[in-house]
Structure 1
Amino acid sequence: MNYQQLTEARRYQISVLLEQGFPIAIIAKCIHCHRSSVYREIKRCQGQPHYNPKMAHQKAVELRRQSAKYTIPERRIESLLLLLQLDWSPEQISHVLNLVKEPVSHEWIYRYIARNKRNGGKLYRHLRQGHKRYRRGKAEQAPTIKNAVSIDERPAIVDSRERFGDWEIDTVLGQHGTGAIVTILERKTRFYLIKKVNSKSAEDVTRATIELLMPYKAHVLTITADNGREFANHEEIANALDTKVYFAHPYRSCERGANENANGLLRQYVKKGVDLRLVSNELIEFAQSRINYRPKKCLKFKQPAVVFHQLVA
């Protein structure tokens, strides 16, 4: 039998079955665990007149928090602080520390930064979105976009980047209320398309997406988006381009990492907080060209535009 942590609900089941006089072996079978787990649960409440499921659960949670799994060594914290001060993201830090056998999850790093901020610390300033709160929980249980198809259902070949024709999409914002920039990137070649729109509305973003990708319709197999409401008309995009649209998990920008990276390069030409009404289409085209003709290490220092057009041809 595989070991699993007992839940609070199972502890209440133990309490009810004990009160009804069932032997330990039968209780263990009823809640699908080993009988030694039931003995440990009863032992947690020694000194009490009867088994208290609430108290047992509180003690178990506290012990779990004090375990080595939840305690990060000081040396590891020093390493992550050093990398954080280099403006590395929690995901990047977590990946590197895992490679050198110093594991720490990116969720733990986010929580560490949040605690530091509550205590007056400034670590949050090293995050790209330092002013935003890291959110996780109810909002990620279900997408708010109608008929959204999860990235979990996306073909596995997309993850390998071996296939040509899989795209990532996002929007880049400027000063509030001045419009947005639709950005689309082909995963294999890193070829990057951008278009300025008057607003972040689903209608404007849908129209721009179709205009950008229609010339390459035969090479649009999938599109992966985030859960922004601007992609609410994803079915219209899918029908127009004869493709499939998938949605990444909420707050998992790493699932669209290439597009996020290209958006960071775009900020060299279109600064954060700028009034996009003052950004000309000529500048947008210039930025797109510069990014597409910048050699990429992942392409063996070939240029995305060159590689893309070779595959199209």
Structure 2
Amino acid sequence: MKLRRNTKTKRIRKNKRILGQSIEERPAEVEQRQEFGHWEIDTVVGKKDKKDEVLLTLTERKTREELIFRADGKNSQAINTIIKQLRHKYGIPFHQIFKTITSDNGSEFAELSLSVQDEKTTVYFTHPYCSSERGTNERHNGLIRRFIPKGKAISSVSDVTITYAENWCNSLPRRILGYKTPGECFQEELSRLAS
């Protein structure tokens, strides 16, 4: 009996697409959550349909404040539109509120660095298939799933439901915050910036 030799070798793949700075270059103080203004960003997909809308979620690492926006699709244009809306909403102190943003390597975040470049906001990208590097945001996305289950089209979800989910996440007392809510902690940080 003749046996074949195993001639296949394991190939180590490198990420072909380098979107920006790696999470390895992120300062240590971001990891320790001692400083306000460091965010994690992701998209929540309802129905796996390219034409369906998605939710863009941003989570502030220190206060656990959650921002949820409806995006027209899972593409960089839709994400950049929302970032422009955020820049307009927060105005001049945008770079103080959004010092860093950490995202995954999704194609929808391909132009994220360019959209915040003039605002002194640094964007870091996690390693591929390593969602634990944005753990706070992934945890909040799980909380959002209580209101918007997988498989449900985002376009069929009302704005009231999205706002309710955001308010619920931000008014949930957290032990890690000394039983304060993320909303309270976020407002405290904003008032410190204003003074």
Fold shared by both chains (TM-score > 0.5) = yes
Q: 2:17 aligns with which of 120, 123, 144?
A: 144
Structure 1, unpaired ranges of 5+: 1-135
* 1:145 shift after superposition: 4.2
- 1:213, CA displacement in angstroms? 5.5
> What is the one-letter code of the residue matched to 1:154?
R
Between the aligned partners of 1:254 and 1:239, the Cα distance in structure 2 is 26
Report the count of equivalent residues. Answer: 175
In structure 2, the residue matched to 1:194 is 68
Distance in 1 (CA, whole Å) between partners of 2:83 and 2:114 is: 10
Q: Does 1:215 align with 2:89?
A: yes
Matched, 1:155 2:27: yes
What is the 5 A alignment of 1:67-86? none
- 1:208 partner letter: I
| 2:37 aligned residue (165, 170, 177) | 165
- The answer to whether residue 168 in structure 2 is matched with residue 284 in structure 1 is no
Which has more radius of gyration?
1
Q: 1:180 & 1:240 partners in 2: Cα distance?
A: 26
Give the SS at the match of 1:308.
Answer: helix
What is residue 5 of structure 2 aligned with on the other side? none
How does the TM-score come out when normalised to structure 2?
0.84
Deviation (angstroms), 1:236: 2.4
CA distance in 2, matches of 1:181, 1:137: 33
- Aligned ranges for residues 94-109 of structure 1 at < 5 Å? none
1:21-60 alignment runs, 5 A limit: none
Deviation at 1:137, TM superposition (A): 4.6
Higher RCO (C-alpha under 8 Å, 6+ residues apart): 2
SS in 1 for 2:21: coil
2: CA distance, partners of 1:240 / 1:274: 37
Separation of aligned partners in 2, 1:175 and 1:284: 16
Aligned counterparts of 1:267 and 1:183: Cα–Cα separation in 2: 12
Stretches of structure 2 that go unaligned for 5 or more consecutive residues are: 1-10
| Larger proportion of helix | 1
| Match in the other structure for 1:256 | 134
- TM-score w.r.t. length of structure 1: 0.53
**Aligned-pair CA distance for 1:176:** 1.9
**Alignment partners' CA distance in 2, 1:293 and 1:207:** 27
> Out of 178, 181, 205, which is 2:55 matched to?
181
Higher strand share: 2
User: Structure 1 residue 242: deviation in Å?
Assistant: 2.8
- Name the Cα RMSD after superposition: 1.7
- Cα deviation for residue 183 of structure 1 reads 0.3
Equivalent-residue separation in structure 2 for 1:169 and 1:160 (angstroms): 18
Q: Could you tell me how far 1:214 is from its partner in structure 2?
A: 4.6
Report Cα offsets for 1:189-245 as digits up to 9, x if no partner: 000001011210111012113323553413111000001000001222222543010
Tell whether the 8 Å contact from 1:145 to 1:232 is kept in structure 2 after alignment: no
Asked if 2 retains the 8 angstrom alpha-carbon contact of 1:165 and 1:220, the reply is yes
Provide closer, same or farther for how the CA distance between residues 143 and 294 of structure 1 changes in structure 2, counting only shifts above 3 A.
farther
In structure 2, distance between residues paired with 1:280 and 1:268: 15
- Displacement of 1:300 in angstroms is 1.5
